[in-house]
Amino acid sequence: MLATLQYHRLRLGARVHRLRLALHARGWRGLLARVAGRDRAAAIAPPATPAFDAPPPQGTAIGAGRRILLVDVSTPRPDRDSGSLRAANLMRLLLGEGFQVDFLPDDGADAGPYTRALESLGVGVQCGAPTRRRRQWFQAHAGRYAAIVVSRYHLAEYLVPLLRRHAPQATLVLDTVDLHHLREEREARLRNDRTLLRLAASTRKRELAAIASVDVAWVVSPAEAALLGDALPGARIEVLPNLHEVEAAPAPFQARSGLLFVGGGGHPPNVDAARWLLEDIWPLVRERLPDCTLHIVGAGMPSALGGAAAQGAIVHGHVPDLAPLLAGTRVGVAPLRFGAGVKGKVNLCMAAGMPVVATGCAAEGMHLAHGRDILLAEEPAAFAEAIVALHSDAALWSRLSQAGIDNVRRHFSFDAARATIAATFPPATA
């Protein structure tokens, strides 16, 4: 009985903390707009063939049939957010390495074609396990897993005690996805908001405790690994990058035009970046490139921006298939002023052969250097100048396009991640 009460207390505490952050950062109206936008997005029919149904790339078979369970908030929808793309590609990687992979969505929901796509890959999706009976499900099934990967600290803080009890044989891994407390702290400092800073401090305490409670914690970049190494010298931290596949024959400079910003409206750094882009950067670009078009893509973004618009800018909302925009747009933009982790929007563009203009925050931990792989700028005038230069100079564009592709191959490909998988789950010895 005490264990059950503790489980539900931790679960409720995680939800209350996230609600407090949402209310303070966006207010009641902002939160309601976000929920309304999410409802409208859900009403849009998802693609019949989700973007992650490609066969898994074959690896070295280190899994040797071992069974592994992944737990996340919900079934990944990789056409909607970077975290989902990471989760889906991680499952593809593990399957290719010979693991038997099961997936448990914490919300217990069947996600329709997204669930079917995982099942078609060979993932055992446990969406029939209701959240109210989660403890009983783990008691009955957790003993069969060699390893269990939990995504995001707020799931780990109430699941790890349960897993230690019912799966003592399993290697427990926390996939941080990004360091939530770092993102919240940066937003608080940008806004000079003491209340948000206190909430970020609370998140930091809880996130570090969750990391310390598992056998291995995955982070997305060496920068975050170094930060955690200082804060938790006894924790085992491994870098598992985001996973992307490079376009085999990207369209050339002459076949492209315009700018692309990708980011969901439910994520505060994206909304802030889109507003800054529309209000302070885009007008300067239009003065120099009057025929240029800016595409802003992301589920919930129209409602999050509250109808904000600018001449020559199109706020698309959710686009199920990004391939035409990735192939036809000339410059990717990532004007993030706060955030954490590796930015999927940057890798997504670079993997498609589209060079990027970004802030230092957006390029953090990605092995990118200004002028070599990317153009970096922190102020509106400099950001606009970099966009104009990259959109106008074919030689510069071609050089940075190839450098971006090379960077994704070196650091954010399936091959780049295999060493971390082998280190986390070493081959079983006879």
Helices 268-276, 180-191: inter-axial angle, 10-degree rounding: 40
- Statement to judge: residues 185 and 262 lie in one domain: no
Domain boundary among 212, 242, 272: 242
Average pLDDT value for residue range 376-384: 98
- Statement to judge: residues 229 and 260 lie in one domain: no
Among 186, 255, 254, 278, smallest CA distance to 223 is for 186
Band (pLDDT 50/70/90 cuts) for residue 47 is very low
pLDDT tens digits along 70-128: 999 999 998 888 889 999 999 999 999 999 999 999 988 899 999 999 999 999 999 87
- Statement to judge: residues 197 and 260 lie in one domain: no
Q: Report how far Cα 240 is from the mean position of its chain's Cα atoms.
A: 12
- Statement to judge: residues 166 and 260 lie in one domain: no
Domain of 91, CATH number, reads: 3.40.50.2000
Q: Does 422 reside within a domain?
A: no
More confident residue, 59 or 7: 59
Per-residue confidence (pLDDT) for residue 207, from 0 to 100? 95
Per-residue confidence (pLDDT) for residue 400, from 0 to 100? 98
Per-residue confidence (pLDDT) for residue 301, from 0 to 100? 86
pTM of the model: 0.82
CB-CB contact of 264 with 270 (8 Å): yes
- Statement to judge: residues 257 and 154 lie in one domain: no
**How many domains in the chain?**
2
pLDDT tens digits along 290-323: 999 999 999 888 888 876 668 899 999 889 889 9
pLDDT tens digits along 190-202: 889 999 999 999 9
Band (pLDDT 50/70/90 cuts) for residue 328 is very high
Q: Does 78 reside within a domain?
A: yes
Q: Does 417 reside within a domain?
A: no
pLDDT tens digits along 393-415: 999 999 999 999 999 999 999 99
Q: Does 378 reside within a domain?
A: yes
- Statement to judge: residues 204 and 329 lie in one domain: no
Q: Does 429 reside within a domain?
A: no
Band (pLDDT 50/70/90 cuts) for residue 46 is very low
Q: Is 68 helix (H, G, I), strand (E, B) or coil?
A: strand
Per-residue confidence (pLDDT) for residue 130, from 0 to 100? 60
Mean pLDDT of the chain: 86
- Statement to judge: residues 214 and 333 lie in one domain: no
Q: Does 428 reside within a domain?
A: no
Q: Which residues of 179-336 form beta strands (DSSP E)?
A: 216-219, 237-239, 259-262, 294-297, 313-317, 331-334
More confident residue, 334 or 45: 334
- Statement to judge: residues 392 and 308 lie in one domain: yes
Q: Does 430 reside within a domain?
A: no
Domain membership of residue 406 as a residue range: 253-411
Per-residue confidence (pLDDT) for residue 29, from 0 to 100? 35
Round to whole Å and give the CA distance between 23 and 13.
15
- Statement to judge: residues 226 and 267 lie in one domain: no
| 79's tokens | 């056409």
Q: Does 47 reside within a domain?
A: yes
- Statement to judge: residues 276 and 310 lie in one domain: yes
SS3 per residue for 107-157: CCCCCCHHHHHHHHHCCEECCCCCHHHHHHHHHHHHHHCCEEEEECHHHHH
Domain boundary among 197, 213, 242: 242
